[in-house]
Amino acid sequence: MKKKTTKVIHEDLELLRTPLKKEQPDFTAKDPWRALRILGEVVEGFDALHDINGSVAFFGSARTQEDDPYYQAAQKTARLLAERGFPIITGGGPGIMEAANRGAQEGKGVSVGCNIQLPFEQTPNPYQDITLDFRYFFVRKLMFIKYSTAFVIFPGGFGTLDELFEALTLVQTDKIKHFPIVLYNEDYWKAMIQFFYDNLLKEENISPEDMTLIKVCNSPEEIVEYVVEFCTRNNNI
Tell me if 176 is assigned to some domain: yes
Instruction: Give the model confidence (pLDDT) of 126-181 as tens digits.
Output: 999 999 999 888 999 999 999 999 999 999 999 999 999 999 999 999 998 899 99
Report the percentage of the chain scoring pLDDT > 70: 85
Tell me if 134 is assigned to some domain: yes
Tell me if 67 is assigned to some domain: yes
Nearest to 160 by CA among 32, 63, 23, 69: 63
Tell me if 66 is assigned to some domain: yes
Tell me if 169 is assigned to some domain: yes
Widest distance between CA atoms in the chain:
67
Q: What is the dihedral of CA 63, 66, 70, 74, to 10 degrees?
A: 110
Tell me if 48 is assigned to some domain: yes
Handedness of CA 70, 74, 77, 80 (dihedral sign): negative
Instruction: Give the model confidence (pLDDT) of 95-141 as tens digits.
Output: 999 999 999 999 999 999 999 877 665 678 999 999 999 988 899 99
Domains: count for the chain: 1
Whole-structure pTM value: 0.86
Nearest to 214 by CA among 176, 165, 177, 175: 165
Tell me if 61 is assigned to some domain: yes
Specify which residues 218 forms β-bridges with: none
Residues spanned by the domain of 181: 42-233
Write the CATH number for 68: 3.40.50.450
Tell me if 31 is assigned to some domain: no
